[in-house]
Amino acid sequence: MELPTSQQFYERFTEAARCHQAEIVQLDHGVSIARLGTGTRFAVVSGLHGDEPSGPLAILRWFEETPPGSLTPEGQSLWVAPLVNTLGWDATNRTWTWGEVEKDLNRSFAAEHAPDFLKILMGDLADPLPALYLDLHEDYRMEAPYYFIYVHDTHDFSQRLAQAHAADLVEWQAYDEWHGASETYIRQLGCAHATTTEAPGAWSVEQRTDWQLKTILWCQDHLFDFAVAQ
């Protein structure tokens, strides 16, 4: 499967987002954020690792294939950063040198590590805080999909996701273990209904993209199940 360049990706995404009357926030390195709708916020981040295409492609399909006017049901709002690591994407590299230091952007959601454009993204993501949060990834070591689950959660968000999408659960139990990860960042701000997806490298890009899109749509359909006062 031939992938679009990051510029081609954003040309298509911006056109689709504008069909949904989304507000587009442009950052450095060709990165954009889309905001639309009013009400309880569902936030999705993808493309933090440049060699993991299924998340960005799933978001692009979501925006392109949903009829205009129906992307945000009544009472919902969306915040979407579809492809964050544009330079890594174009080079098919997991990480990239931002400034003078090579960085894993999913370890950079911390003031001491974040490039300037990511700091802007972080601030925008947190205001207002989403009720539900997804960060879309891939794991090339695995043959089956999984979601991360924080062992101290008192809700069943990740369990329900795994049951709905025939996926495994991988436990984590300490914030220090994932310092700088986007999920850790948003959880520390107060969004407990958050998870990181991992599509398996053993699948084709098309299969991975389908699975990521099903996860997005399920979360949107069940947003109010998990919405809590922030």
pLDDT at 228 (0 to 100)? 61
| 102 φ, ψ (degrees, to nearest 5) | -70, 130
pLDDT of residue 230: 41
Structural domain boundaries in the chain: 6-226
Architecture of the CATH domain 6-226: 3-Layer(aba) Sandwich (3.40)
Per-10-residue mean pLDDT, the chain, length 230 = 95 98 97 97 98 98 96 95 98 90 94 92 96 97 96 96 97 94 97 97 97 98 78
Report the C-alpha gap between 169 and 102 in whole angstroms: 30
SS3 (DSSP) at 75: coil
Residue 229, pLDDT score: 40
- Tell me how far apart the alpha carbons of residues 195 and 148 are, in angstroms, rounded to a whole number: 6
Helices assigned H by DSSP within the chain: 6-19, 54-65, 86-91, 116-125, 157-164, 182-188, 205-221, 223-226
